[in-house]
Chains A and B, each alone.
Chain A
Amino acid sequence: MAVEQPTQPTLGDQIYDKLFHNYVWRSIFRTGYPNTPRNQMLVVATNVFLHLHPTRIHRTHVKITHTYCLGGLTFFMFLGLTVTGILLMFYYVPSVDRAYLDIQNIQTNVQFGQLMRNMHRWMAHAMVILVFLHMLRVFYTGAYKPPREFNWVVGVVLLVLTFLLSFTGYLLPWDQLAFWAITVGTNIAGSAPVLGPKTRFWLLGGFEVGPDALIRFYTLHVIGLPLLAAIFMAVHFWRIRRDGGLARPL
């Protein structure tokens, strides 16, 4: 009776083994590629980045046309803006004397500087558009309905925070476009009855757009608002899980 004999490992198998089964690799990734349903659920449940997700999801929710990935892409824009924003922060000083020169410097002297600035700008526009479309998706699929009422409210707060993040970033290049856009924008805030002028003063740190406004907008843009947005995002994502995943017909 013929008994199947184990074959000798091929060269490819040996290289694969050396690359992915060595001590260092194993210390980082405890398991190999999850190729059984059990391991695939485990990897989602135990991986720090993936555990925002449930291990399973209703099959209608992986259809692109259900969500168009709009919420996820908005978050992805936020991550991309953080990365490009940090790179820009290396070269940018928020002072009236330097801000404009720094932007010119980024565009002309910094390796990939123009690309980083473009990416940051277009991602910011994309985030505003995507978050708005995400809101429309949630509305037209009736996903704000119970039990997701509060998450809709959190979402509206995040919409406002996105606008504010974009608005505070608009001043930083310190060019004519930035200056007058923020002048117009803060004048709108200043038109509020009774509290308007004070609000405008707090926003600008003065009566007109100047050095104090620049440092305020910068601080809000790079730390204050992103921190706030991150907190609300954490709640937003957590509530999706708590409310039973994405909405679907009952």
Chain B
Amino acid sequence: MATVVVARPAARPTPRARDEEVLVWPDLVFVEFISAMLFTVLLFVLSYVMNAPLLDEANANVTNDPAKAPWYLLNLQELLLHMNAALAGIVVPTVWLIVLMVFPYFDRSTDGQGRWFADVNSVKNTVVSFNVGMWGTLALIIWNSGKAALWAKDWFGFSGGSTLAFLERSAALKDPSVVPWPGWADSIPYLWFNLKILDEGPGAGVTTFQKIDLPTLLVDIGIPTGFMVGFSCLLIFFFWRINWVHTRRDALITLMSGFVGVFLMLTVIGTAFRGPGQDLIWPWDLRTLEGIPGQE
């Protein structure tokens, strides 16, 4: 008799032991029902005690300061303050979403699924990566805001002068008085013709693609990219050296937990610690609290 070979997916659900199973009605349906009811009640109470914000009618002539995006985008808005706009607003989120989607194709083992933190080092890996991401981000934000230099001056009388201005913010590195950039560095031709893209609308300029501004490229794109990619790789490498990362799954846990820490810190800073002119301030000094849900 001929054998028929049927193509099968690489991993298939395995047959279950019937005695390990419970009936969906009532065991699951009731849990769902109760959680749905609990949330309904919670949201009713919340809606009763707290009104949705409504400010004055929209007016294009009166700028809100600080003008803030919805809170779940404030992490991106915070990033915008520290690097090239296209990098922060488009490239970083797009690349990260693609990286997220690629996760299961990178880590193809079926080990440790269906249990919380099933891998050996996953809890300490998660906790440490999360904290490194969170506090590392805070440190970088404080450094780039110039606050660190200000405090150093206030507390220790330390003043770096213009040569140490990069200690205040990374953008100072573009300044020829800080870094002796040669005169040709800010217009290095790389195309032999002048490619222009005309943007329409008020305030739109011409985008040309003929020359590279090396200091700007390095400072606004190079340094932040270096930090983001470099720190991630460094952390995974370090965990690999101390035997916390053995598998691809471990590397992903480091990456994801670090991301959650960074994401959280950026969102919190952007929401509660950015005042007029996007300056770092304490939340209680926020004059208008538009970015915070529920505050009017």
Contact = CB atoms under 8 A, between A and B. Distances in A.
A181 B69 contact: yes
Given A100-B58, A143-B114, A197-B199, A56 B24 contact: yes
A181 to B, nearest CB: 5
Contacts of A121: 52, 293
B11 A146 contact: yes
Q: 5 nearest interchain CB pairs?
A: A244-B13, A118-B47, A248-B114, A207-B201, A179-B58
B154 interface: no
Q: What interface size band does chain A fall in?
A: 35 or more
Which secondary structure characterizes the binding site on chain A?
helix
A109 interface: no
A114 B89 CA distance: 34
Contact of A122 (B52, B202, B290): B52
B113 A188 contact: no
A194 B207 CA distance: 8
Contacts of A58: 16, 20-22
A54 B14 CA distance: 15
B114 A247 contact: yes
Contacts of A180: 63-64, 67-68, 290
A44 B25 contact: yes
Interface of A: 34, 37, 40-41, 43-44, 50, 53-62, 64-66, 69, 72-73, 76-77, 80, 96, 100, 103-104, 107, 114-115, 117-123, 125-126, 128, 136, 139-149, 152-153, 156, 160, 163, 166-167, 170, 173-181, 183-185, 187-189, 191-194, 196-197, 201, 207-210, 243-250
Contact of B36 (A66, A76, A147, A166): A76
Interface string B52-91: 1111111110111001111011001100100001101110
A152 B101 CA distance: 7
Interface stretch (B102-110, B167-175, B178-186, B235-243): B102-110
A208 B86 contact: no
A60 B113 CA distance: 13
Given A57-B22, A73-B35, A166-B72, A145 B201 contact: no
B103 A181 contact: no
